[in-house]
Chain A
């Protein structure tokens, strides 16, 4: 299994820990974010012809740039995606929104101990990460999905 698959499986195991603890819930959300982070990088770098250099290329990806790029395509005025298949657009926006959401959720899970992390919240986040893995194959071949992958790497300074 690829590393991102292992991370997702790990997140799902953790979120089903019974009884749930703050440790298991927080680590589940964190693992879910990194599963998606590495999954998107894997998908993007798979386009690179030289297979042995893909992991090195993957080091160029930056959390902040990826979040900004994800947020940008949620803006329907800037990116109306006119003429595109609406179900593809819907799924792509789901991926982008979920990536952005998971990044913030990971930040809370790893750093913010002022409040407990709810089991329902953790389950929602982890299952959303899993849904990205399930959804992506249906849009992978679409040009707007590939454009999104490229945008994840292009730094906006």
Chain B
């Protein structure tokens, strides 16, 4: 590597390196996006209005695929910390699922099922997030976002 050019070389762009195809794919995707968009500083938005009735049905259907450790699945739509439209799944867990030795397996499985069934990025243009609460905690707080 020509060290005078730094990591990527001024003006050369990362695609000029002999990366494997998978790396080039990522870089080319970014370069294409850079060339084809003139609204670079605008936040991403879903391609259309979210049909809440349809989304409700999809989430409900997906919730039925989850195990008994899940008491309830709610969701809300709104901007995340970077102002990108997002879907926040609020998942109420049975108390015995919220254990040191089980929680990762439980939450991983829930996220995978919901991502595969709802397809938030692909079908809705929404970034997915997952928030968890135990049933006993919800009984104390009665947070409507988890109802």
B122: chain A residues at CB < 8 Å are 75-77
Interface residues of B in 119-144 (CB under 8 A from A): 119, 121-122, 127-134, 137, 141, 143
Q: How many whole Å from A86's CB to the nearest CB in chain B?
A: 12
Most buried by B among A64, A76, A103, A127: A127
Interface residues of B in 88-105 (CB under 8 A from A): 93, 98, 100, 103-104
- Measured CA separation A150–B14 after assembly (Å): 10
Asked whether B81 lies within 8 Å of A124 as measured between CB atoms, the reply is no
- Measured CA separation A103–B23 after assembly (Å): 24
Which of A123, A128, A131 is in CB contact (< 8 Å) with B100?
A: A123
Q: How large is the interface on A (under 10, 10 to 19, 20 to 34, 35 or more residues)?
A: 35 or more
- Known interface pairs A121-B133, A144-B22, A150-B23; A157-B103 also in contact (CB < 8 Å): no
The number of chain B residues with a CB under 8 A from chain A is 41
- Measured CA separation A145–B23 after assembly (Å): 10
Asked whether A118 lies within 8 Å of B103 as measured between CB atoms, the reply is no
Asked whether B27 lies within 8 Å of A101 as measured between CB atoms, the reply is no
Q: How many whole Å from B63's CB to the nearest CB in chain A?
A: 18
Asked whether A151 lies within 8 Å of B132 as measured between CB atoms, the reply is no
Asked whether B26 lies within 8 Å of A101 as measured between CB atoms, the reply is no
Asked whether B137 lies within 8 Å of A143 as measured between CB atoms, the reply is no
Which of A71, A72, A120 is in CB contact (< 8 Å) with B29?
A: A72
Give 7 closest A-B pairs by Cβ, nearest first: A107-B81, A151-B26, A147-B22, A147-B23, A120-B134, A156-B30, A127-B104
Binding site for B on A (CB under 8 A): 57, 60, 64, 67, 69, 71-72, 74-78, 90, 93-94, 97, 100-101, 103-104, 107-108, 115-116, 118-121, 123-124, 127-128, 130-131, 143-144, 146-148, 150-151, 154-157
